[in-house]
């Protein structure tokens, strides 16, 4: 199984009861044979451009582990889900992640903060 990052933009009217659409997405991942590793709710944000008449969306990022055939099934289902305005499903780059963690470790060894290393 490979690790993926699933970013979902949920209809802003559903911000009050966000658990219902998120349960649908979680169930979709589990039904595809995967599992949710982490979930991060970024909250309601303004979109760069209008999508389906909406200027805002609730951003939720899920780190998931999926078997090879699951991404296609998830994509097909999310395309027809009314609660989801847009989604992005990408494979996690393990080399990039390792380099980032290594850079953070070297910065910590030198006593720098994260902001210092970005300058």
pTM here?
Answer: 0.78
Half-sphere exposure of 49 (CA within 13 A, CB side): 1
Which positions of the chain have pLDDT values less than 50? Answer: none
Residue 113: predicted pLDDT: 57
Sheet with 2-10, edge to edge strand ranges: 35-51, 54-66, 2-10, 84-91
Contact assessment for residue 14 and residue 21, using Cβ atoms and an 8 Å cutoff: yes
CATH number listed for the domain at residues 2-92: 3.30.70.60
pLDDT at position 118 is 54
Between CA 22 and CA 97 the distance in angstroms is 26
């Amino acid at each position: 199984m490979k690790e993926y990052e699933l970013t979902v933009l949920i209809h802003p009217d559903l911000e009050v009861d966000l658990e219902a659409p998120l349960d649908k997405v979680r169930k979709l991942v589990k039904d595809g044979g995967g599992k949710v590793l982490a979930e991060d709710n970024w909250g309601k944000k303004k979109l760069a451009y209008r999508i389906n008449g909406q200027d805002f969306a609730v951003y939720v990022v899920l780190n998931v582990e999926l078997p090879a055939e699951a991404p296609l099934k998830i994509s097909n289902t999310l395309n027809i889900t009314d609660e989801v305005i847009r989604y992005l499903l990408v494979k996690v780059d393990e080399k990039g992640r390792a380099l980032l963690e290594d850079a953070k470790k070297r910065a910590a060894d030198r006593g720098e903060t994260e902001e210092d290393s970005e300058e």
